[in-house]
Amino acid sequence: MGLCTLAAVSLSAHPQDSTKTSIGKKVASRLQVGGYGEAVMTRNFFSDKYLRYTDAANYANSKGHGRFDLPHMVIWLGYDFGKGWSLGTEIEFEHGGTGSAVEIEAEEGGEYESDIERGGEVVLEQFWINKAWLGGKLNMKIGHIIVPVGATNMYHMPTEFFTNMRPEGERTILPCTWHETGVSLWGRIGDWRYEAMALPGLDSDRFNSQNWIGGGKGSPYEFKIANNYAGALRVDNFSVPGLRLSLSGYVGNSFENTLSSTDSEKYRGVKGTVAIGAFDFCYNAHNLIVRGNFDYGHLSDSELITKYNMSMRKESVSPKQSVASDAIAWGAEAGYNFFGLSEKLTRNNQKLYAFGRFEYYDSMHKTEGSIQDTKWCARSRFSVGVNYKPLNDIVIKAEYGKSILDKQYNDEPYLSVGVAYAGLFKR
């Protein structure tokens, strides 16, 4: 099966698609163990100073900077209880996880001192119980679930895109990977897959200029506030062999979906409704993979939300930045497997894709009232490179690319290499 199909025996963005329950085909083992991970080295030929946009001329000749990163390392566990009941869990270590240590400082009078030894996050990305009926045509999933909006949220494993990092446009303007606690109805009937999800709304306190509504997922607290509710929907079609066509969307209110609230008449009636529409596709046949996406989002009351966030206390979780009323991202990538021209290499299941990608995104695509457009948030981005797959679950990547900004700013070229894996270890 292609990378873009809901393969019955491969780990996917929704592991329930790969778990054969007792209603479906007989499984070799009730327990499934899998995961994915990436290690990336990047040389950026531009400045990493925070003033590079406000004072671009002084950073035009920067020597650049290098970075080593472990973007994601994920362990997935699934279990088939029988009678249509199954479990999925996924824990993710982002950028190497997080760590701290306490030590006694001899040079500071023997004081105890706490140090942060590494950045990153450890996140429970998925935890759900699934009940299947009608041979998988109807399922109900309850727990912490991937929100099925956009291409990257559904297909975010490193074997499902050519670049070393997840496609920049979608992961900038949308939460990525977007996971929330909720209830989902999903299934596959013939050439169609559907999913409808009810979930808590986003939190407008944490919206910002560069990432639009991306920071509003999850919760900085020990619980998820659900003063507002939202819905997400996705439909996929597989009628044409090798081709997937998908539509997805989200709608929900976001204002005061937080611990803070206001009684001010100025904000009476503010809802902060977030509406997102997305189209994506993937063609995988004849040694060719072509993927593409288009995402558009609108936030109502963006000017009042900006003013409210700007007025919040300094120690609040809000970044206190301007927020756009509309954001956009679109892109496409294509790669050809030249090893597919060799019968011997095809027989050994090795692949070598040469690829190109182009995308455009703007987290400040439209602004409302007095909100100023932050023009460096709009950029075109291209990359070219190769993906070598010695085995189906392992890929070695190399790419060169550049972000092209408005003429008043400096472009941002880079060179990146990485290695990644994705697959089931026990099934």
How confident is the prediction for the chain on average, in pLDDT? 90
**Which of 318 and 273 is assigned the larger pLDDT?**
273
Pick from 184-198, 294-308, 344-358: least confident:
344-358
pLDDT exceeds 90 at position 10 = no
Give me the pLDDT at residue 96, please.
84
What is the rounded distance in angstroms from the CA atom of residue 205 to the CA atom of residue 201?
A: 12
Give me the pLDDT at residue 109, please.
55
Distances (CA, A) of 186 to 87, 88, 132, 339, 421: 15, 15, 9, 37, 27
Give me the pLDDT at residue 333, please.
98
Give me the pLDDT at residue 19, please.
46
Q: Report whether 211 contacts 321 (CB < 8 A).
A: no
Give me the pLDDT at residue 274, please.
98
Question: Could you tell me which of 226, 231, 248 has the C-alpha nearest to residue 170?
Answer: 248
Q: Report whether 420 contacts 71 (CB < 8 A).
A: no
Mean pLDDT along residues 218-225: 86
pLDDT exceeds 90 at position 307 = yes
pLDDT exceeds 60 at position 105 = no
Mean pLDDT along residues 415-424: 96
pLDDT band at residue 24, thresholds of 50, 70 and 90? very low
pLDDT exceeds 60 at position 6 = no
Contacts of 76 (CB under 8 A, 6+ apart): 11, 15, 32, 33, 34, 35, 88, 89, 90, 126
pLDDT exceeds 80 at position 133 = yes
Give me the pLDDT at residue 408, please.
94
Give me the pLDDT at residue 104, please.
57
Mean pLDDT along residues 139-164: 97
What is the rounded distance in angstroms from the CA atom of residue 182 to the CA atom of residue 338?
A: 43
pLDDT exceeds 70 at position 117 = no
pLDDT band at residue 111, thresholds of 50, 70 and 90? low
**Which of 16 and 274 is assigned the larger pLDDT?**
274
Mean pLDDT along residues 176-200: 97
Give me the pLDDT at residue 314, please.
85
pLDDT exceeds 80 at position 103 = no
- Secondary element (H or E) of residue 309: helix 302-310
Give me the pLDDT at residue 3, please.
37
pLDDT exceeds 50 at position 280 = yes
Phi-psi region for residue 310, left (φ > 0), alpha (ψ -120 to 50) or beta? alpha
Domains (ranges, CATH) in the chain? 15-97+114-426 (2.40.160.10)
pLDDT band at residue 348, thresholds of 50, 70 and 90? confident
Residues of the chain above pLDDT 90, percent: 77
